[in-house]
Amino acid sequence: MFSLLTLQATDDFLTLQVTDDASDVTMAHFMGEVGRRVPVAARFSTVTHEKGSPESLRDVRGFSVKMYTEQGNWDFVGNNIPVSHHGSF
């Protein structure tokens, strides 16, 4: 079975500025330097199905955040994949 998927996304580039010393709760070096600025890229996305697709198809959504630090890039990714409970409606 073939299904056409279209990714709809938006992304942004911003700067994280550390306002409090968090070195007591993290090993991330940059989080312990108040005033440190870290470039960040954030992306939010969803998958849409082709016109006429049944509504029972999963509506997957997600996000990703990338921080560019001296220690390397820190990547965070999250997905929301709905679970279908057929027959429970």
Task: Name residue 29's amino acid.
Answer: H
Q: The whole model's pTM is what? A: 0.63
- pLDDT category at 84 given cuts 50, 70, 90 is low
Residue 9 has pLDDT above 70, yes or no: no
Whether residue 45 is contained in a domain is answered as yes
Task: Name residue 72's amino acid.
Answer: G
Handedness of CA 8, 65, 40, 15 (dihedral sign): positive
Whether residue 42 is contained in a domain is answered as yes
Whether residue 38 is contained in a domain is answered as yes
Residue with tokens 């630090």: 69
Whether residue 59 is contained in a domain is answered as no
pLDDT at res. 72? 92
46-56 pLDDT, tens digit per residue, is 776 777 777 66
- pLDDT category at 75 given cuts 50, 70, 90 is very high
Q: Which of helix, strand or coil describes residue 29?
A: helix
Residue with tokens 């390397």: 72
20-73 pLDDT, tens digit per residue, is 999 999 888 888 889 999 999 988 887 767 777 776 666 778 889 999 998 899
Count of domains forming the chain: 1
Q: Which domain holds residue 33?
A: 5-52+71-80
Whether residue 66 is contained in a domain is answered as no
Q: From start to end of the chain, where are the E strands?
A: 5-17, 37-49, 61-69, 72-80
pLDDT at res. 28? 87
